[in-house]
């Protein structure tokens, strides 16, 4: 006979750290994320967006990385963030519920990402889904961290996932 604690533990995923030194991030995921690549237009050019996604029931946990290269290192990071937020909201056909400027904790930012003091956090909804998103600009790279869940099905580990995101030294770049 299982105790109640054992039954609950059996249903709870074992979160594990996932890191990608090429991309320069680490985060906790409940299962290994699936990687994919897409092309996205930005400022008259096209960039590669690399995505890392894991699902827990009807909730998706997502980290996206888009390296803008030299253009990103010289552009206004707040402008890139504003355009990325606008693009994400339009892509999701959503409306913003709340937003605020944020920064990564200086203790979690490696020297190569010292410019990661530019970030935005927002919540948005469309007629079916709720999105909690954080975006950061660091050394010309846009990092997007998002939890997507059905309306009225709040994901209990949203903060756990979002708070676990950290920048790490990038290798091979």
Condensed to tens digits (0 to 9), the pLDDT of residues 95-107 reads 999 999 988 765 5
Please give the pLDDT value at position 45.
85
Q: Please tell me the pTM assigned to this model.
A: 0.85
Please give the pLDDT value at position 13.
64
Whether residue 159 is predicted with pLDDT greater than 90 in this model: the reply is yes
Please give the pLDDT value at position 17.
96
| pLDDT tens-place string over residues 132-145 | 999 999 888 999 99
Higher pLDDT, 41 or 160: 160
Instruction: Say which range, 1-15, 20-34, 74-88, has the weakest mean pLDDT.
Output: 1-15
Query: Can you tell me the mean pLDDT for 16-23?
Result: 94
Distance (Å, whole) CA 78 – CA 84? 10
**Topology of 12-167 in CATH?**
Protein Transport Mog1p; Chain A (3.40.1000)
Please give the pLDDT value at position 112.
47
Query: Can you tell me the mean pLDDT for 108-118?
Result: 54
Please give the pLDDT value at position 52.
98
How far, in Å, are 15, 33, 154 from residue 131 at the CA level?
Answer: 21, 18, 10
Rounded to the nearest integer, the mean pLDDT of the chain is 85
Is residue 31 packed enough to be buried (19+ CB in 10 Å), middle (13-18) or exposed (0-12)?
middle
Whether residue 115 is predicted with pLDDT greater than 70 in this model: the reply is no
């Amino acid at each position: 006979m299982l105790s109640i604690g054992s039954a609950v533990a059996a249903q709870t995923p074992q979160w594990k750290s996932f890191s990608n030194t090429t991309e320069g991030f680490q985060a906790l995921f409940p299962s290994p994320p699936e990687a994919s690549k897409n092309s996205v237009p930005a400022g008259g050019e096209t960039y590669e967006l690399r995505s890392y996604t894991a699902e827990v029931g009807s909730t998706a946990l997502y980290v996206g990385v888009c390296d803008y290269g030299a253009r990103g290192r010289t552009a206004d990071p707040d402008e890139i963030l504003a355009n990325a937020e606008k693009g994400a909201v339009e892509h999701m056909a959503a409306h913003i519920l709340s937003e605020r400027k944020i920064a990564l904790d200086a203790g979690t930012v490696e020297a190569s990402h010292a410019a990661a003091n530019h970030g935005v956090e927002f919540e948005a909804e469309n007629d079916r889904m709720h999105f909690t998103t954080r975006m950061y600009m660091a050394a010309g790279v846009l990092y997007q961290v998002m939890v997507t869940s059905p309306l009225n099905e709040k994901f209990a580990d949203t903060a756990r996932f979002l708070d676990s995101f950290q920048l790490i030294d990038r290798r091979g770049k």
